Chains A and B, each alone.
Chain A
Amino acid sequence: MITEHFDYHSPSTLNEIFKLMEENDGAKILAGGHSLLPMMKIRFSDPAHLIDINGIDELKGITEVDGKIHIGAMTTENELINSDLLTQKVPIIVEAAKLIADPQVRNRGTIGGDIVHGDPGNDHPSIMMALDATFILADPNGERAVHANSFFLGTYWTELGENEILKEVQLPIPSENHGYSYTKFKRKTGDFATAATAVVLSLNGDVCSSINIVMTNVGPTAIKVEEAEALLIGKVIDDELINQAAQKAMEICNPIEDLRGNVAYKTHMAGEMTRKAIQTALSRATG
């Protein structure tokens, strides 16, 4: 389990990153390293250059900027978990981060790495979509903003261009009394989801005024269950409606069989997780 040789670079500014990316063909960005390094160790991957962006402060931190939460791409999972700001205003991120990997890995793994991977098994893509987050992508020529819903194109395939990096995540602060849940089923601690669903909703009295439902690891990307959302918006959500929403979720998911389960099981679990997530979010919301 030894990687091949590579050159190591540790830039301290964004511009240095861009310069290194342009100069070195086939250079890879090293964030937390907990996917890339194991892959390099079994020699499925042998980049000639590694660009370690752990030393770049402008990619870190969680702040509130005129009504929005800004999260630097290199913010670690444990920094998300320990953030009072997030705990208070966007608790679903904290809830989800706690379900990722294990304590040691959460000290290295970053929200940015989790997102740009475009791995359908990663948890943040669903969370970001459920929160209507926007990704700030940067390259030598400047920055652009891409909504989470249009960022994930396929399995390990995203909007992120060559020589472009994810700089920051920006998200609107959900209403104070919103309901939320990230319901994840996994075989054991640290495993990826067999199926998981993120739900963020708001009530107006008893009536659902807004809801986002997004599923993890049951398709080539995180899947937004729009039909289920449409079904619930403007209604008083009851068990029958939740059942129908779960059905919609099962209809659009398209999982791959692996040791976690076959297609039938994962599809069934997508429904289960969606059902539970809506129930929990509902119980947490106060109209």
Chain B
Amino acid sequence: MKKIAVSFKLNGQQVDTLVEPRELLIHTLREQLMQTGSHIGCETSHCGACTVDFNGDSVKSCTLLTVQAEGAEVLTVEGLAGDDGLHPVQEAFMEEHGLQCGFCTPGMLMRSYRFLQENPNPSEEEIRMEMSGNLCRCTGYQNIVKAVQYASNKLQTTKGDA
């Protein structure tokens, strides 16, 4: 089967891949580019473990073809921490015990990363609504909500300092 060359930006780096049209973005990320942070939990776009940031939107990479990523900007959990250390959402999940087995965590982090840009100062209800595309079996979500609130405060104070 003929393959197609697809180039996009992954975590700030230009990547060039050769894929069958049917290849899913999550598989390209995990198996070609060896970025295994994003996970596969359900394959039907229910669980959100494969959530990545795609041209500034949260998307489920199990339901996106790699060929659709031509020229796109893709951010995964591997690209979240900067030179100055962990991103506030990462720090927040650790501080508030927002993870246990860690499998849903990259998707949760990528969703909160985008959500807190969409809504920097959310209410608990807004957090629960806007994070509802990500399933977790371990935490019961209560500490994840706290983590998002922690990150929200941190992001705003640091913005304040800047």
Instruction: Please provide the chain B residues from 70 to 129 with a CB less than 8 Å away from any CB of chain A in the complex.
Output: 70, 111, 115
Given A5-B21, A6-B21, decide whether A190 and B63 contact each other with a Cβ distance below 8 A: no
**Interface of chain A, main secondary structure:** loop
Q: Tell whether, in the assembled complex, residue A7 and residue B60 are in contact, meaning their CB atoms are under 8 Å apart.
A: no
Which residues of chain A have C-beta atoms less than 8 A from B67's C-beta? 8, 10, 52
Which residues of chain B have C-beta atoms less than 8 A from A101's C-beta? 133
User: Closest residue of chain B to A39, judged by CB?
Assistant: B44
Q: How far is the CB of A10 from chain B (nearest CB, A)?
A: 8
Give chain B's interface residue range (CB within 8 Å of chain A): 20 to 34
Provide the bound-state CA to CA distance between A30 and B65, in Å.
10
- For A, the interface residue count at a CB cutoff of 8 angstroms equals 28
Provide the bound-state CA to CA distance between A6 and B1, in Å.
9
Q: Tell whether, in the assembled complex, residue A102 and residue B48 are in contact, meaning their CB atoms are under 8 Å apart.
A: yes
Which residues of chain B have C-beta atoms less than 8 A from A2's C-beta? 22
Contact of B155 with A by CB under 8 A: no
User: Closest residue of chain B to A32, judged by CB?
Assistant: B63
Given A104-B111, A107-B58, decide whether A38 and B21 contact each other with a Cβ distance below 8 A: no
Which residues of chain A have C-beta atoms less than 8 A from B111's C-beta? 103-104
User: Closest residue of chain A to B19, judged by CB?
Assistant: A8
Q: Tell whether, in the assembled complex, residue B132 and residue A103 are in contact, meaning their CB atoms are under 8 Å apart.
A: yes
Q: Tell whether, in the assembled complex, residue B21 and residue A50 are in contact, meaning their CB atoms are under 8 Å apart.
A: yes
Q: How far is the CB of A84 from chain B (nearest CB, A)?
A: 15
Q: Tell whether, in the assembled complex, residue A7 and residue B21 are in contact, meaning their CB atoms are under 8 Å apart.
A: yes
Provide the bound-state CA to CA distance between A216 and B15, in Å.
44
Contact of A284 with B by CB under 8 A: no
Q: Tell whether, in the assembled complex, residue B65 and residue A103 are in contact, meaning their CB atoms are under 8 Å apart.
A: no
Q: How far is the CB of B44 from chain A (nearest CB, A)?
A: 5
Q: Tell whether, in the assembled complex, residue A38 and residue B45 are in contact, meaning their CB atoms are under 8 Å apart.
A: yes
Which residues of chain B have C-beta atoms less than 8 A from A6's C-beta? 21-22
Q: Which of B1, B21, B22, B60 contacts A104, CB < 8 Å?
A: B60
Q: Tell whether, in the assembled complex, residue B63 and residue A37 are in contact, meaning their CB atoms are under 8 Å apart.
A: yes
Q: Tell whether, in the assembled complex, residue A8 and residue B21 are in contact, meaning their CB atoms are under 8 Å apart.
A: yes
Given A37-B63, A190-B132, decide whether A103 and B115 contact each other with a Cβ distance below 8 A: yes
Interface residues of A (CB under 8 A from B): 1-8, 10, 30, 33-34, 37-38, 41, 50, 52, 54, 78, 101-105, 107-108, 189-190
Interface residues of B (CB under 8 A from A): 1, 4, 20-22, 43-46, 48, 51, 54, 57-60, 63-65, 67-68, 70, 111, 115, 130-133
